Amino acid sequence: MKIVLPGAVIGLLGGGENSRMLALAAYRMGYRVHVFSQPGDTAVTPLADISIQAPYDDLDRLREFAAAVEVVTVAESGVPMIALRAVAGASVVRPSPKVFDAIEDSDGGGIGAKRSTTAPLVDFSIIGARGTAGEFVFYPPIAIDRVDGAVDIARSPAPLNAKLVRRAVGLTRDTLEDLDLIGLTAVEFTLTQDGELVLHDVTPHAHPSGNLTVDSCVTSQFEQQLRAVCGLPLGSTEMLRPAAMAVLPDAASPWASAYAFPQVKLHPYGARGGFLTATAKSATQAKQIVLAARASLTSSADV
C-alpha cells in the first residue's frame, strides 16, 4: 500500500467546510493541498495551494487535478461516481470509488437501514478509521440532536451503557471491513425507546458530529482521515475531556461575543457559518455551554 509522507501534495474533492478543516489539519502535518470543487464552493479556497473550480462532469480537469497529487480523499458528500472514477484513473483515491458505489447502491438492507419510525431515545454516531493494514480505531460515541434532519448539537461521550457501545463499535468495524474502506467513516445509529439499535447512515468522510474531536481528543477526525488515507499510523482517539459542539448559523455574526465563554472554541468558516465547541466536566455541561454561547451570538446580532 502506498504511503504518502509529509511534504507531498494531498488532493481534496469538495470545497466546503470539511475541506477547509482537512486543509488546516494537512498543513499542520506538513502536507500541501490541492482542492477540486464546484464553482461557488469556496470555504477552503483561501487556504489551498491550488484551487480548481469546475463542474464535476469536467473529467479532463479532474484528471489534471488528480495527476498533480499523491493521494485524493473526498471531503464531502455529493461527489458523483463518474468524477470519482475519473480521479481514480489518474491517482490513488481513498476511500476507493467502490466504497462510495456500495453505499450509494444500498437499498436499506446491508449497509444501513432507513431511520426507525419509532421515537428515538438517542441518536448517536460512532466515528471509526481504518488504515491501509486493516487497523481500526474509534472515538467515544457521540450523541446527536438534529434540526430538520441535520446535525445541530453533538456531545460526547453519549449516555449509553458499555454493552451497547461495544455492539455499535462492532457493527462499525464490520461495516468498514466489509467495505474494505481505507479512511474515516461515521456510522450513525438510533437507539429506540423499545431498546432497538438501528444502523441507518454510513458517511465515508469527516462528519459534523465529529467536529468536537478538534478540541477534545488527542487526534481530531480530520487529522485521522488524513493519517488513514496517507498510510500513516492511526492516531490516538483518547478523549481528553467531555465535549459538545454546536453548529453556527450560515449567516454573518458578531463572533466576538462567543469569546466571553472561556471554555468555548470558535471555528468560523470565514465570515459565515461554522461551529463552536466546549469542553467541561461532563458532556451535558459542555452542551449547556455551547448552547449559551450560540445564543449570545444571536442576541448580539439583534442589538
Cα gap 245→265, rounded to integer Å: 9
41-96 residue pLDDT tens: 777 878 899 999 999 999 999 999 999 999 999 999 999 999 999 999 999 999 99
d(CA 28, CA 222): 11
Neighbours of 187 (CB within 10 A): 27
Whether omega for the bond prior to residue 140 falls within 30 degrees of 0, making it cis, is no
Q: Are 216 and 241 in contact (CB under 8 A)?
A: yes
Q: Own/partner pairs for 169-175, CB < 8 Å, 24+ apart? A: 169/126, 169/128, 169/138, 171/126, 171/199, 172/126, 172/128, 172/138, 173/128, 173/136, 173/138, 175/111, 175/199, 175/202
- CA–CA distance, 30 with 14 (Å, rounded to integer): 21
- List the domains of the chain with CATH numbers: 9-93 (3.40.50.20), 120-302 (3.30.470.20)
In order along its 303 residues, the chain shows pLDDT tens digits of 789 999 999 999 998 899 999 999 999 999 999 999 998 877 787 889 999 999 999 999 999 999 999 999 999 999 999 999 999 999 999 999 999 999 988 643 345 444 445 566 899 999 999 999 999 999 999 999 999 999 999 999 999 999 999 999 999 999 999 999 999 999 999 999 888 999 999 999 999 999 999 999 999 999 999 999 999 999 999 999 999 999 998 776 677 788 899 999 999 887 778 999 999 999 999 999 999 999 988 765 554
> Nearest-CA neighbor of 139 among 124, 155, 130, 128?
128
CB atoms within 10 A of CB 288: 15
